[in-house]
Chains A and B, each alone.
Chain A
Amino acid sequence: MNLFDFFRERKKQTPASIAKERLQIIVAHERGHRNEPDYLPALQKELVEVIRKYVNIDQDQVQVALEDQGSCSILELNITLPDR
Protein backbone atom coordinates (compact mmCIF):
# COMPACT_ATOMS: atom_id res chain seq x y z
CA MET A 1 0.00 0.00 0.00
CA ASN A 2 1.52 3.33 -0.99
CA LEU A 3 0.89 6.73 0.54
CA PHE A 4 -1.79 7.58 -2.00
CA ASP A 5 -3.75 4.43 -1.18
CA PHE A 6 -3.43 5.23 2.51
CA PHE A 7 -5.27 8.52 2.15
CA ARG A 8 -7.83 7.13 -0.23
CA GLU A 9 -8.51 4.28 2.19
CA ARG A 10 -9.25 6.68 5.00
CA LYS A 11 -11.80 8.55 2.99
CA LYS A 12 -13.66 5.40 2.01
CA GLN A 13 -16.84 4.68 3.91
CA THR A 14 -16.93 1.71 6.22
CA PRO A 15 -19.85 -0.73 6.17
CA ALA A 16 -20.87 0.64 9.57
CA SER A 17 -20.97 4.25 8.38
CA ILE A 18 -23.06 3.22 5.36
CA ALA A 19 -25.45 1.43 7.71
CA LYS A 20 -25.72 4.51 9.91
CA GLU A 21 -26.40 6.81 6.99
CA ARG A 22 -29.07 4.50 5.54
CA LEU A 23 -30.73 4.11 8.92
CA GLN A 24 -30.80 7.84 9.60
CA ILE A 25 -32.58 8.43 6.31
CA ILE A 26 -35.15 5.65 6.60
CA VAL A 27 -35.86 6.29 10.28
CA ALA A 28 -36.39 10.01 9.70
CA HIS A 29 -38.69 9.21 6.78
CA GLU A 30 -40.74 6.70 8.78
CA ARG A 31 -40.97 8.99 11.81
CA GLY A 32 -42.40 11.67 9.56
CA HIS A 33 -45.23 9.37 8.57
CA ARG A 34 -45.79 7.96 12.04
CA ASN A 35 -48.61 10.19 13.21
CA GLU A 36 -50.20 10.83 9.87
CA PRO A 37 -53.80 9.88 9.33
CA ASP A 38 -54.40 7.01 6.89
CA TYR A 39 -56.08 9.21 4.28
CA LEU A 40 -53.01 11.30 3.42
CA PRO A 41 -51.65 9.10 0.58
CA ALA A 42 -55.11 8.97 -1.06
CA LEU A 43 -55.50 12.73 -0.63
CA GLN A 44 -52.14 13.30 -2.26
CA LYS A 45 -53.06 11.04 -5.18
CA GLU A 46 -56.34 12.83 -5.81
CA LEU A 47 -54.71 16.25 -5.55
CA VAL A 48 -52.21 15.24 -8.21
CA GLU A 49 -55.07 14.14 -10.46
CA VAL A 50 -56.88 17.47 -10.07
CA ILE A 51 -53.77 19.55 -10.69
CA ARG A 52 -52.89 17.44 -13.70
CA LYS A 53 -56.06 18.62 -15.41
CA TYR A 54 -54.38 22.02 -15.67
CA VAL A 55 -50.64 21.55 -15.28
CA ASN A 56 -48.55 18.50 -16.01
CA ILE A 57 -46.83 17.47 -12.80
CA ASP A 58 -45.36 14.32 -11.29
CA GLN A 59 -46.62 12.50 -8.23
CA ASP A 60 -43.62 13.58 -6.16
CA GLN A 61 -44.10 17.25 -6.98
CA VAL A 62 -46.97 17.44 -4.52
CA GLN A 63 -46.03 17.23 -0.89
CA VAL A 64 -48.69 16.81 1.72
CA ALA A 65 -47.88 17.19 5.39
CA LEU A 66 -50.00 17.42 8.49
CA GLU A 67 -48.51 19.49 11.26
CA ASP A 68 -49.78 19.19 14.77
CA GLN A 69 -50.05 22.58 16.47
CA GLY A 70 -51.48 21.53 19.80
CA SER A 71 -55.16 22.33 19.62
CA CYS A 72 -55.36 22.23 15.82
CA SER A 73 -53.61 20.63 12.88
CA ILE A 74 -52.35 22.38 9.78
CA LEU A 75 -52.52 20.64 6.45
CA GLU A 76 -49.64 21.89 4.40
CA LEU A 77 -49.57 21.48 0.62
CA ASN A 78 -46.43 22.11 -1.32
CA ILE A 79 -46.85 21.94 -5.06
CA THR A 80 -43.89 22.48 -7.33
CA LEU A 81 -44.91 23.61 -10.81
CA PRO A 82 -42.62 22.84 -13.73
CA ASP A 83 -40.59 25.61 -15.39
CA ARG A 84 -42.47 27.58 -17.98
Chain B
Amino acid sequence: MAKILVVTSGKGGVGKTTTSAAIGTGLALRGHKTAIVDFDVGLRNLDLIMGCERRVVYDFINVINGDATLTQALIKDKRLENLYVLAASQTRDKDALNIEGVEKVINELKENFEYVICDSPAGIEKGAHLAMYFADEAIVVTNPEVSSVRDSDRMLGLLASKSRRAENGEEPIKEHLLLTRYNPERVTKGEMLGVEDVEEILSIRLLGVIPESQAVLKASNQGIPVILDEQSDAGQAYSDAVDRLLGKEIAHRFLDVKKPGFLQRLFGGRE
Protein backbone atom coordinates (compact mmCIF):
# COMPACT_ATOMS: atom_id res chain seq x y z
CA MET B 1 0.00 0.00 0.00
CA ALA B 2 1.42 3.36 -1.02
CA LYS B 3 2.14 5.92 1.63
CA ILE B 4 1.20 9.57 1.21
CA LEU B 5 3.61 11.91 2.97
CA VAL B 6 3.09 15.64 3.23
CA VAL B 7 5.95 18.05 3.86
CA THR B 8 4.44 21.09 5.49
CA SER B 9 5.24 23.97 7.86
CA GLY B 10 2.83 26.86 7.71
CA LYS B 11 5.67 29.35 7.51
CA GLY B 12 7.51 29.96 4.25
CA GLY B 13 11.22 29.64 3.62
CA VAL B 14 11.93 27.03 6.27
CA GLY B 15 13.00 24.31 3.83
CA LYS B 16 9.88 22.43 2.70
CA THR B 17 10.95 22.03 -0.91
CA THR B 18 14.57 21.25 0.03
CA THR B 19 13.20 18.60 2.38
CA SER B 20 10.71 17.16 -0.13
CA ALA B 21 13.49 16.83 -2.70
CA ALA B 22 15.93 15.31 -0.20
CA ILE B 23 13.51 12.85 1.42
CA GLY B 24 12.00 11.79 -1.92
CA THR B 25 15.45 11.23 -3.41
CA GLY B 26 16.55 9.37 -0.28
CA LEU B 27 13.58 7.00 -0.51
CA ALA B 28 14.30 6.34 -4.19
CA LEU B 29 17.98 5.74 -3.37
CA ARG B 30 16.85 2.99 -1.01
CA GLY B 31 14.91 1.32 -3.78
CA HIS B 32 11.42 2.68 -3.13
CA LYS B 33 9.52 3.97 -6.14
CA THR B 34 8.74 7.56 -5.21
CA ALA B 35 6.88 10.51 -6.73
CA ILE B 36 7.32 14.05 -5.45
CA VAL B 37 4.36 16.33 -6.16
CA ASP B 38 4.59 20.13 -6.09
CA PHE B 39 1.40 21.66 -4.65
CA ASP B 40 2.68 25.23 -4.88
CA VAL B 41 0.60 26.22 -7.90
CA GLY B 42 1.73 29.56 -9.29
CA LEU B 43 5.06 29.52 -7.44
CA ARG B 44 6.56 26.19 -8.39
CA ASN B 45 10.14 25.53 -7.39
CA LEU B 46 10.46 21.81 -6.83
CA ASP B 47 11.46 21.43 -10.49
CA LEU B 48 14.40 23.84 -9.95
CA ILE B 49 15.56 22.12 -6.76
CA MET B 50 15.35 18.73 -8.50
CA GLY B 51 17.11 20.07 -11.61
CA CYS B 52 14.36 19.15 -14.06
CA GLU B 53 12.96 22.63 -14.78
CA ARG B 54 13.65 22.40 -18.49
CA ARG B 55 11.86 19.11 -18.87
CA VAL B 56 8.44 20.23 -17.59
CA VAL B 57 5.92 19.74 -20.39
CA TYR B 58 2.69 18.99 -18.54
CA ASP B 59 1.88 19.77 -14.92
CA PHE B 60 -0.42 18.80 -12.03
CA ILE B 61 -3.25 21.09 -13.19
CA ASN B 62 -3.06 19.68 -16.74
CA VAL B 63 -3.61 16.22 -15.27
CA ILE B 64 -6.49 17.40 -13.06
CA ASN B 65 -8.15 19.07 -16.05
CA GLY B 66 -7.61 16.06 -18.29
CA ASP B 67 -5.32 17.93 -20.71
CA ALA B 68 -2.62 15.32 -20.13
CA THR B 69 -2.32 11.88 -18.59
CA LEU B 70 -0.38 11.34 -15.39
CA THR B 71 2.21 9.30 -17.31
CA GLN B 72 2.77 12.23 -19.66
CA ALA B 73 3.14 14.71 -16.81
CA LEU B 74 5.46 12.71 -14.54
CA ILE B 75 9.09 13.68 -15.07
CA LYS B 76 11.52 10.82 -14.60
CA ASP B 77 14.66 11.74 -12.68
CA LYS B 78 17.86 11.51 -14.74
CA ARG B 79 19.93 10.20 -11.85
CA LEU B 80 17.67 7.67 -10.18
CA GLU B 81 15.58 4.86 -11.59
CA ASN B 82 12.77 5.05 -9.02
CA LEU B 83 12.23 8.78 -8.81
CA TYR B 84 9.58 10.95 -10.47
CA VAL B 85 8.49 14.58 -10.16
CA LEU B 86 5.06 16.07 -10.83
CA ALA B 87 5.48 19.82 -11.33
CA ALA B 88 2.92 22.42 -10.29
CA SER B 89 1.45 24.78 -12.84
CA GLN B 90 3.28 28.08 -13.03
CA THR B 91 0.63 30.04 -14.93
CA ARG B 92 -2.39 29.21 -12.77
CA ASP B 93 -3.24 29.93 -9.14
CA LYS B 94 -4.23 27.76 -6.19
CA ASP B 95 -7.92 27.92 -7.14
CA ALA B 96 -7.12 25.64 -10.07
CA LEU B 97 -6.74 22.86 -7.48
CA ASN B 98 -9.89 21.10 -6.32
CA ILE B 99 -10.40 18.25 -3.93
CA GLU B 100 -11.89 15.83 -6.47
CA GLY B 101 -9.06 16.46 -8.95
CA VAL B 102 -6.36 16.06 -6.32
CA GLU B 103 -7.98 12.87 -5.04
CA LYS B 104 -8.08 11.42 -8.55
CA VAL B 105 -4.38 12.14 -9.13
CA ILE B 106 -3.36 10.88 -5.67
CA ASN B 107 -5.30 7.64 -6.17
CA GLU B 108 -3.63 7.06 -9.52
CA LEU B 109 -0.21 7.77 -8.00
CA LYS B 110 -0.96 5.32 -5.18
CA GLU B 111 -1.37 2.52 -7.69
CA ASN B 112 2.05 3.08 -9.21
CA PHE B 113 4.27 4.25 -6.38
CA GLU B 114 5.36 3.20 -2.91
CA TYR B 115 5.73 6.75 -1.66
CA VAL B 116 4.04 9.95 -2.73
CA ILE B 117 5.61 13.10 -1.27
CA CYS B 118 3.34 16.16 -1.30
CA ASP B 119 5.39 19.36 -1.20
CA SER B 120 3.03 21.86 0.46
CA PRO B 121 3.02 25.59 -0.25
CA ALA B 122 3.41 27.98 2.68
CA GLY B 123 0.30 29.28 4.44
CA ILE B 124 -2.87 27.47 5.44
CA GLU B 125 -4.96 28.22 2.38
CA LYS B 126 -6.26 25.90 -0.34
CA GLY B 127 -2.92 24.64 -1.68
CA ALA B 128 -1.60 23.78 1.78
CA HIS B 129 -4.94 22.26 2.79
CA LEU B 130 -5.12 19.99 -0.25
CA ALA B 131 -1.46 18.99 0.10
CA MET B 132 -2.10 17.56 3.57
CA TYR B 133 -5.70 16.42 3.15
CA PHE B 134 -4.95 12.89 1.88
CA ALA B 135 -1.76 12.35 3.90
CA ASP B 136 -0.92 9.27 5.98
CA GLU B 137 2.14 10.89 7.52
CA ALA B 138 3.34 14.47 7.86
CA ILE B 139 6.81 15.91 8.10
CA VAL B 140 6.52 19.28 9.83
CA VAL B 141 9.56 21.34 8.86
CA THR B 142 10.47 23.84 11.57
CA ASN B 143 13.27 26.35 12.10
CA PRO B 144 14.43 26.98 15.67
CA GLU B 145 12.79 30.38 15.66
CA VAL B 146 9.59 31.72 17.28
CA SER B 147 7.41 32.38 14.24
CA SER B 148 8.23 29.05 12.64
CA VAL B 149 7.53 27.07 15.83
CA ARG B 150 4.21 28.83 16.35
CA ASP B 151 3.15 28.23 12.73
CA SER B 152 4.15 24.57 13.02
CA ASP B 153 1.92 24.20 16.04
CA ARG B 154 -0.95 25.75 14.10
CA MET B 155 -0.26 23.30 11.28
CA LEU B 156 -0.33 20.39 13.74
CA GLY B 157 -3.78 21.55 14.82
CA LEU B 158 -4.97 21.53 11.21
CA LEU B 159 -3.45 18.09 10.54
CA ALA B 160 -5.42 16.78 13.49
CA SER B 161 -8.74 18.32 12.46
CA LYS B 162 -8.90 19.20 8.75
CA SER B 163 -7.49 16.11 7.05
CA ARG B 164 -9.38 13.21 5.50
CA ARG B 165 -8.26 10.92 8.28
CA ALA B 166 -9.58 13.34 10.89
CA GLU B 167 -12.87 13.90 9.08
CA ASN B 168 -13.48 10.17 8.65
CA GLY B 169 -12.49 9.44 12.25
CA GLU B 170 -9.63 7.19 11.11
CA GLU B 171 -6.25 6.77 12.75
CA PRO B 172 -4.69 10.25 12.86
CA ILE B 173 -1.87 11.38 10.56
CA LYS B 174 1.52 10.33 11.95
CA GLU B 175 3.45 13.51 12.66
CA HIS B 176 7.23 13.94 12.44
CA LEU B 177 9.25 16.98 13.42
CA LEU B 178 12.16 17.95 11.19
CA LEU B 179 14.21 20.77 12.62
CA THR B 180 16.14 22.57 9.89
CA ARG B 181 18.76 25.35 9.75
CA TYR B 182 19.99 24.28 13.18
CA ASN B 183 23.09 26.02 14.48
CA PRO B 184 24.61 24.20 17.50
CA GLU B 185 27.02 27.06 18.20
CA ARG B 186 24.22 29.56 18.63
CA VAL B 187 22.27 27.06 20.74
CA THR B 188 25.28 26.68 23.04
CA LYS B 189 25.50 30.46 23.36
CA GLY B 190 21.83 30.60 24.31
CA GLU B 191 20.95 32.54 21.18
CA MET B 192 18.87 29.84 19.51
CA LEU B 193 16.18 27.43 20.66
CA GLY B 194 17.61 23.96 21.15
CA VAL B 195 16.20 20.65 19.86
CA GLU B 196 14.79 19.76 23.29
CA ASP B 197 13.08 23.15 23.54
CA VAL B 198 11.28 22.75 20.22
CA GLU B 199 10.43 19.10 20.96
CA GLU B 200 8.99 20.12 24.32
CA ILE B 201 6.85 22.89 22.85
CA LEU B 202 5.48 20.92 19.90
CA SER B 203 5.59 17.50 21.59
CA ILE B 204 5.87 15.39 18.45
CA ARG B 205 8.38 12.75 17.46
CA LEU B 206 11.72 14.08 16.21
CA LEU B 207 12.58 12.75 12.75
CA GLY B 208 15.82 14.65 12.36
CA VAL B 209 17.86 17.77 12.80
CA ILE B 210 19.38 19.33 9.68
CA PRO B 211 22.25 21.67 10.50
CA GLU B 212 22.46 25.08 8.87
CA SER B 213 24.77 24.23 6.01
CA GLN B 214 26.43 25.83 3.01
CA ALA B 215 25.79 22.60 1.16
CA VAL B 216 22.07 23.40 0.86
CA LEU B 217 22.60 26.53 -1.27
CA LYS B 218 25.33 24.82 -3.25
CA ALA B 219 23.00 21.94 -4.03
CA SER B 220 20.00 24.08 -4.96
CA ASN B 221 22.19 26.24 -7.23
CA GLN B 222 22.99 23.13 -9.22
CA GLY B 223 19.59 21.46 -9.09
CA ILE B 224 20.90 18.51 -7.09
CA PRO B 225 18.96 17.33 -4.03
CA VAL B 226 21.29 17.94 -1.08
CA ILE B 227 21.00 14.32 0.07
CA LEU B 228 23.11 13.35 -2.95
CA ASP B 229 25.99 15.40 -1.51
CA GLU B 230 27.08 12.57 0.74
CA GLN B 231 30.08 14.45 2.08
CA SER B 232 27.98 17.28 3.47
CA ASP B 233 26.57 17.45 6.98
CA ALA B 234 23.11 18.37 5.69
CA GLY B 235 23.16 15.49 3.20
CA GLN B 236 24.10 13.02 5.92
CA ALA B 237 21.49 14.42 8.29
CA TYR B 238 18.78 14.00 5.62
CA SER B 239 20.02 10.49 4.96
CA ASP B 240 19.62 9.62 8.64
CA ALA B 241 16.12 11.14 8.61
CA VAL B 242 15.11 8.91 5.67
CA ASP B 243 16.39 5.84 7.52
CA ARG B 244 14.40 6.85 10.59
CA LEU B 245 11.32 7.37 8.42
CA LEU B 246 11.76 3.77 7.28
CA GLY B 247 11.84 2.62 10.89
CA LYS B 248 15.55 2.44 11.67
CA GLU B 249 16.78 3.63 15.05
CA ILE B 250 19.69 5.97 14.47
CA ALA B 251 21.29 8.37 16.94
CA HIS B 252 20.95 12.05 16.07
CA ARG B 253 24.10 13.72 14.76
CA PHE B 254 25.22 17.33 14.29
CA LEU B 255 23.62 18.47 17.54
CA ASP B 256 26.84 19.57 19.21
CA VAL B 257 29.48 22.10 18.37
CA LYS B 258 32.35 20.52 16.51
CA LYS B 259 35.49 20.76 18.59
CA PRO B 260 38.48 21.57 16.42
CA GLY B 261 41.21 18.94 16.54
CA PHE B 262 44.67 19.67 17.93
CA LEU B 263 46.30 20.26 14.53
CA GLN B 264 43.35 22.31 13.36
CA ARG B 265 43.65 24.50 16.42
CA LEU B 266 47.37 24.86 15.83
CA PHE B 267 47.23 25.70 12.14
CA GLY B 268 43.68 26.94 11.74
CA GLY B 269 41.93 26.32 8.44
CA ARG B 270 38.84 24.32 7.71
CA GLU B 271 38.39 20.61 7.91
* Bound CA span A17–B201, Å: 12
CB of A35 within 8 Å of the partner chain: yes
Instruction: Please count how many residues in chain B sit with their CB below 8 Å of the partner chain's CB atoms.
Output: 19
- Find out whether the CB atom of A23 lies under 8 angstroms from the CB atom of B157: no
- Find out whether the CB atom of B193 lies under 8 angstroms from the CB atom of A20: yes
Q: Which B residues between 181 and 232 are near A, CB-CB below 8 angstroms?
A: 187, 189-194, 197, 200-202
Partner of B146, one of A14, A19, A31, A35: A19
* Bound CA span A75–B201, Å: 28
CB of B149 within 8 Å of the partner chain: yes
* Bound CA span A35–B195, Å: 28
- Find out whether the CB atom of A30 lies under 8 angstroms from the CB atom of B146: no
- Find out whether the CB atom of A27 lies under 8 angstroms from the CB atom of B153: yes
Residues of A with C-beta under 8 A to B62: none
Chain A's closest residue to B187 (CB) is A16
Partner of A14, one of B161, B190, B200: B190
- Find out whether the CB atom of B146 lies under 8 angstroms from the CB atom of A15: no
Known contacts A20-B197, A20-B201, A22-B146, A15 near B153 by CB under 8 Å: no
Partner of A19, one of B153, B161, B193, B202: B193
Partner of B190, one of A17, A24, A35: A17
CB of A34 within 8 Å of the partner chain: yes
Residues of A with C-beta under 8 A to B55: none
A16, A24, A26: which has the most chain B beta carbons within 10 Å? Answer: A16
- Find out whether the CB atom of A16 lies under 8 angstroms from the CB atom of B154: no
Partner of B150, one of A17, A20, A27, A34: A27
- Find out whether the CB atom of A15 lies under 8 angstroms from the CB atom of B190: yes
Residues of A with C-beta under 8 A to B157: 30-31, 34
Residues of B with C-beta under 8 A to A15: 190-191
Q: Which A residues between 17 and 43 are near B, CB-CB below 8 angstroms?
A: 17, 19-20, 22-24, 26-27, 30-31, 34-35
Partner of B194, one of A16, A26, A35: A16
List 6 extra interface pairs beyond A19-B193, A30-B153, A35-B161, CB under 8 A: A14-B190, A16-B193, A22-B146, A24-B200, A30-B150, A34-B161
* Bound CA span A43–B253, Å: 51
* Bound CA span A27–B157, Å: 11
CB distance from A2 to the nearest CB of B (A): 21
